[in-house]
Amino acid sequence: MKKVLYLLVISLLAGVAMTSCKDDETYAEQKEKERKAVASFLARNPLCLRNSEGEVLLETKAIKVISEEQFYAQDSTTNVEENEYVLFGSTGVYMQIVREGVGESIKEGETKRLICRYFEYNILGDSLQSASNVLYWTTTPDILDVSNNSGTITASFNNKINGGGAMFTFYKSTVVPNGWVTPLRFVKVGRQTSAEDGIAKVRLIVPHGEGQSDATSNVYPCFYELTYQEMRD
């Protein structure tokens, strides 16, 4: 009897091990699909993104990837005419600073409340997934509460002021994707005082590990175009 039980336990453990291996392989395959999708996205020439109605969201030439070293050597800027994006090796996030913004960056020990508008394009699905830079969300933008604690920037979506913007509505979470926080180290997020003021604007390629909850769970990368602006009191 003990021998039978022993064999059953061994069989069960073997089954669990096989399932785990299979899951690992599946995740590895998903990550490989993500990697290939990003590589293909970077090489598109022209790079043209459209919504479900066929309207153009963004049209530009193929992306030129630069290193962090080159990015810092260029005074933390990216050449938009060359369609440069810096790749942050530790996270896999690609970033282009389209406009640095107005005002000042977030200083150590400072907290700011920002208005953020965006569109989110699912690179693997090759489709627009969500957006707040449209008429429907004009009065309910995404609001970010951002703090700089000893050089580490953290952020959360505020869903108390207006019930939450598009990101909170779509993903039911106050957690801001890590990829969205990355540009806040480099842009200025003051208030717009005139129509001519160019508020901070960036473009990002965010892998699943730095993205929103659904991207993390289902292993897909997203492209974002974002603007940041300090909210008025």
The answer to the question of residue 208 being in a domain is yes
Torsion sign, CA atoms 223, 72, 231, 159:
positive
Is the confidence at residue 1, as pLDDT, over 70? no
The answer to the question of residue 142 being in a domain is yes
The answer to the question of residue 28 being in a domain is no
pLDDT of residue 208: 98
Is the confidence at residue 191, as pLDDT, over 50? yes
Is the confidence at residue 65, as pLDDT, over 50? yes
Give the pLDDT band (50/70/90) at residue 81.
very high
pLDDT of residue 193: 80
The answer to the question of residue 204 being in a domain is yes
Q: CB neighbours of 10 closer than 8 A, spacing ≥ 6?
A: none
Is the confidence at residue 8, as pLDDT, over 70? no
Is the confidence at residue 157, as pLDDT, over 60? yes
Measure the CA–CA gap between 150 and 135, rounded to whole angstroms: 38
Is the confidence at residue 5, as pLDDT, over 50? no
The answer to the question of residue 197 being in a domain is yes
CATH number of the domain to which 156 belongs: 3.10.50.40
The answer to the question of residue 90 being in a domain is yes
The answer to the question of residue 52 being in a domain is yes
Amino acid, single-letter form, for residue 113: R
Domain total in the chain:
1
Q: Which domain holds residue 93?
A: 47-230
Measure the CA–CA gap between 154 and 182, rounded to whole angstroms: 10
pTM, whole model, 2 decimals?
0.88
What value does the mean pLDDT take over residues 42-61? 96
The answer to the question of residue 221 being in a domain is yes
What value does the mean pLDDT take over residues 62-71? 98
Measure the CA–CA gap between 108 and 87, rounded to whole angstroms: 25
Measure the CA–CA gap between 113 and 162, rounded to whole angstroms: 13
Pair 125, 52: CB distance under 8 Å: no
